[in-house]
Amino acid sequence: MNYMPKIDRRSFLVSSAAAGLAVGMRLPFGDEAAAQTALPPEVNAWVVVKPDDTVIIRIARVDMGQGTLTGLAQLVAEELECDWSKVTWEYPSPGRNVARNRIWQNYQTAGSQGIRQSQQYVREGGAAARMMLIQAAANDWKVPAGECVAANSVITHKPSGRTTTFGKVADAAGKLDVPKNPPLKDAKDWKIAGKPLKRLDTPDKINGKQVYAIDTKLPGMLNAAIKLSPVIGGKVKSFDAAKVESMKGVKKVVQVGDYGAAVVADTWWHAKTALEALPIVWDDGGNGNVSSETIAARLKEGLDADEAYVGNKQGDAKGALASAAKKVEAVYAYPYQNHAPMEPMNTTALWTADGCQVWAPTQNAEAALAVAAAAAELPVGKCDVNRMHLGGGFGRRASSHDFVEQAVLIAKQLPGTPVKLIWSREEDMTHGRYHPITQCKLTGGFDAQGNLTALHMRLSGQSIVASLLPQLLKDGMDPFVFQGLNPSGAEGVFGYEIPNLLIDHAMRNTHITPGFWRGVNNNQNAIYLECFMDELAQAAGQDPLEFRRKLMANHPKHLGVLNAVAEKVGWGKPAEGGRFRGLAQHMGYGSYVAAAAEVSVDPKGQLKIHRIVAATNCGNAVNPQQIEAQIQGSFVYGLSALLYQECTVKNGKIEQENFDSYNVMRIDEMPLVETIIMPSGDFWGGVGEPTIFVAAPAVLNAIYAATGKRIRSFPLSKHDLKSA
């Protein structure tokens, strides 16, 4: 994926010269850093082996629940040939990465890229460490390294049968040069990678021991609660600190940037209680009149606007549509949605004139470091981010590190005192980085023989990139709005051959801050396209599967997953028990996915999603049981959105403040998910997001089969599915 938040490399390079200072920097609570340097010397950047043979694998990407940590450790351990039962892990801080010329490379964990974009160099890290350990043993024994092998953390000299363990030679190995471009194993020889191993991080998650960022405790720490401008982008005009300063536990009332106010107190509950009593006057920044209606009208205008950025074009779609024997047209709309990870935004910061440390839940600790340093007004080399465990991320903690900036701005006003900032759920719901809002007009044309000859797909709406990463715009165009609709590339190839095709985007931005929301633009694009393919099939009087198949001959991988779900769900044979079926396929984040849903709708309009068969071809499958968990989990995320989730705007503010008005699917609505993992072995695709794309369209197509109703705006809770 290409939309990684760009950290200014130059500032990193400049500051890394000074980063030597950071190592010796004294902070009052630097014990953790001291503990880390007390570790035994590393074999190489990726692998530390303790004398007792414990293997510490360094993980640059982050685990927010998706299992990346375990998957990456499996890949390193596979090449290292170590004993898996002795494997543990460590997150190197971004400050250490800076100090070592980014030896761990990219920290960004979004776009389902954690494994697919780092697998090569982490496996090489494991392989190089194995070669170094073997070499160290061979040197000790004064035998050629070629006569030695490693397995299960034991090195054996084959001719003599002599053995030693990794822990005994790790010190010496760490002094050797790191070999370049070590050969890697073929996936068919994998013993640790590719296997459904248990996660490394489960034990502490069942007994309350796992420390999340929100659980950070430091000596002398205070707690902060924050209120941000209710109209996003608005400013604080004034607040009356005197009104709350004498309330219990309150230590300080501070302004945060020009956009918020915070109360710092002994406990968070005291801070929040006082904050609620704090009178604040806001300047709405000119957006106080914006509503969902005004936004919808603006997007609607874009559907027919003359100017639009072209993302995919074949032949002459407009001409072919003008002369089509039959035309089908539909307009769809997709709302704003909040990520709402279970752990609200939070960060702990400690600022002194000499340095700044933060403890943050981040999907990209390097970006967090850049944000922290800027807010601290200190060189990057004097700051660092302690990478805390995340209670979910889903893109929120990659899209923006606003919560890190705020924590630092608050801590800066209490030099030497660590302050933990926690957003209330209400702040979290109303100051998200929302799934962007879009509409789509689709027009399909058939010739007299009933062949689909043209498709025009006009997207209108918000660009995430224009808001977050404008440097990635190409002559004003946002390439990422076309995820899954591209003519080529890993970010999602359009899976149908249509002689006259036009997919274009009328960019219509708003003041509501958009972000990368699990699945990102694939979510609406898959709904638009896959539901409309069903509409076209119906117009052509054809079975939705057969109709698609005819257009997919040149896309065997797209077709492969679609065929797999169709076969497993029993497509072609009627479903039992009043159930109806729907299909969808899509490609994104390097992977090919398809789903077949079975639903029923009772006469009162009550929907039940009984079963979804899901297939993924992710190229290589590093941990099948975790892939299965990601598929199930992504369906919950995607179906929660489909069933319930919409953030509406009134007077410039987001209206939904908590889970009572922003509902989430519970266990009673969970369909049985049957997973087909079918890696073809010739590429590396993502697994954290891709299957989410097909959950909603498969269910929507099944709802149509059950009710004859085409739902084209969301969530479903706005619609009555009662039979007419």
> Footprint of ligand FES on this chain (CB under 6 A)?
65, 342, 392
Q: What are the residues facing 267 on neighbouring strands?
A: none
Closest-CB residue for ligand FES? 342
668 contact, one of ligand FES, another protein, none, CB 5-8 Å limit per kind: another protein
Alpha helices in 508-593 (DSSP H): 521-539, 544-551, 556-569
**Cβ partners under 8 Å of residue 420, min gap 6:** 214, 216, 218, 221, 222, 223, 224, 268, 346, 347, 348, 359, 407
Q: Give CA–CA dist 104/92, Å, rounded.
A: 8
- Which residues are near another protein by CB under 8 A? 64-67, 198-199, 201-212, 214-215, 217, 223, 248, 267-269, 340-344, 389-394, 422, 424-425, 625, 629, 632-637, 658-660, 664-668, 670, 672-673
Count Cβ atoms below 10 Å from residue 541 Cβ, excluding itself.
8
Q: What are phi and psi of 525, to 5 degrees?
A: -60, -40
- When the beta carbons of 406 and 500 are compared against another protein, the nearer one is 406
Nearest distance from C-beta of residue 204 to ligand FES, angstroms:
13
- The neighbour count for residue 183, using CB atoms within 10 Å, is 10
Provide the token pair at 380: 């990057």
| Residue 235 binds which entry of ligand FES, another protein, none, CB below 5-8 Å type-dependent | none
- The secondary structure element, H or E, covering residue 11 is helix 9-17
Rounded Cα distance between 679 and 618, Å, is 5
Smaller CB distance to another protein: residue 479 or 633? 633
Give the residues across from 586 on adjacent strands.
593
State the nearest-atom distance from the C-beta of 231 to ligand FES, in Å.
27
Smallest gap from residue 72 Cβ to another protein (A): 16
Closest distance between ligand FES and the C-beta of residue 339, in Å? 12
> For residues 395 and 634, is the Cβ–Cβ distance under 8 A?
no
- Name which of 65 and 484 has its Cβ closer to ligand FES: 65
Of 365 and 533, CB closest to another protein = 365
Q: Which of the listed partners (another protein, ligand FES, none) does 688 bind, with a CB threshold of 5 to 8 Å by partner kind?
A: none
Q: Where are the alpha helices (DSSP H) in 597-691?
A: 624-644
| Sequential DSSP letters for 17-79 | HTHHHHHH---TTTHHHHHHHTSPPEEETTEEE-TT--EEEE--S--SSSSHHHHHHHHHHHH
Q: Is the separation of the CB atoms in 187 and 194 below 8 Å? A: yes
Placement of tokens 């603006």 in the chain: 298
Residue 92 interacts with, from ligand FES, another protein, none (CB under 5-8 Å by kind): none
Minimum gap (Å) between residue 623 Cβ and ligand FES: 17
Inter-residue contact 461 to 512 (CB < 8 Å): no
Residue 607: which of another protein, ligand FES, none does it interact with, CB under 5 to 8 A by kind? none
For the bound state, the minimum distance from the C-beta of residue 636 to another protein, rounded and expressed in Å, comes to: 3
Pick the closer one to ligand FES by CB: 5 or 391: 391
Q: By three-state DSSP, how is residue 105 classified?
A: coil
> Which residue's CB is nearer to ligand FES, number 67 or number 686?
67
CB of 628 to another protein, least distance (A): 9
Of another protein, ligand FES, none, which one does residue 673 interact with (CB within 5 to 8 Å by kind)?
Answer: another protein
The residue among 392 and 638 lying less far from ligand FES, judged by its C-beta, is 392
Residue 393 carries which side chain, given as an amino acid letter? Answer: G
State which residue, 203 or 476, has the beta carbon closest to another protein: 203
From the list another protein, ligand FES, none, pick the one residue 2 interacts with, judged by a Cβ distance below 5 to 8 Å according to partner type: none
- Amino acid (one-letter) located at 57: I
In the complex, minimum distance from the CB of residue 64 to ligand FES, in angstroms, rounded to a whole number: 8
Q: Which does 276 bind (CB under 5 to 8 A by kind): ligand FES, another protein, none?
A: none
The angle at the Cα of 717, spanning 716 to 722, to the nearest 5 degrees, equals 80
Least separation in angstroms between residue 117's CB and ligand FES is 24
Give the whole-angstrom CA distance, residue 650 versus residue 631.
35
Name the residue nearer to another protein (CB basis): 336 or 635: 635
190 CB-contact burial (10 Å; exposed 0-12 / middle 13-18 / buried 19+) = middle
The residue among 205 and 318 lying less far from another protein, judged by its C-beta, is 205
Closest approach of ligand FES to the CB of residue 694, in Å: 22
Say which entry of another protein, ligand FES, none residue 201 contacts (CB below 5 to 8 A, set by partner kind). Answer: another protein
Q: Is 114 helix (H, G, I), strand (E, B) or coil?
A: coil
Query: Judged by CB, which is closer to ligand FES: 629, or 676?
Result: 629
CA-to-CA distance for 636 and 644, rounded, in angstroms? 12
DSSP letters of 319-349? HHHHT-SEEEEEEEEE-BB----SSPPEEEE
* Cα-based torsion angle of the residue sequence 665, 62, 355, 224 in order, rounded to the nearest 10 degrees: 10
- Contacted by 144, from ligand FES, another protein, none: CB < 5 to 8 Å by type: none
Query: What distance in Å separates the CA atoms of residue 39 and residue 630, rounded to the nearest whole number?
Result: 34
Binding partner of 64, given another protein, ligand FES, none, CB within 5-8 angstroms per partner class: another protein
What minimum distance in Å lies between the beta carbon of 611 and another protein?
A: 11
Pull the structure tokens for residue 659.
């889970």
In the complex, minimum distance from the CB of residue 664 to another protein, in angstroms, rounded to a whole number: 5
For residue 340, the minimal CB distance to ligand FES (Å) is 10
| Residue 223 interacting partner from ligand FES, another protein, none (CB closer than 5 to 8 Å by kind) | another protein
Rank residues 65 and 515 by Cβ distance to ligand FES and give the closer one.
Answer: 65
Judged by CB, which is closer to another protein: 443, or 640? 640
The Cα 694–Cα 554 span in angstroms is: 20
340 makes contact, choosing from another protein, ligand FES, none, with CB < 5 to 8 Å by partner type, with another protein
Nearest-approach distance from CB 114 to another protein, in angstroms: 14
* Residue 519 near which of another protein, ligand FES, none (CB within 5-8 Å, type-dependent): none
Of 25 and 636, the one with the shorter C-beta distance to ligand FES is 636
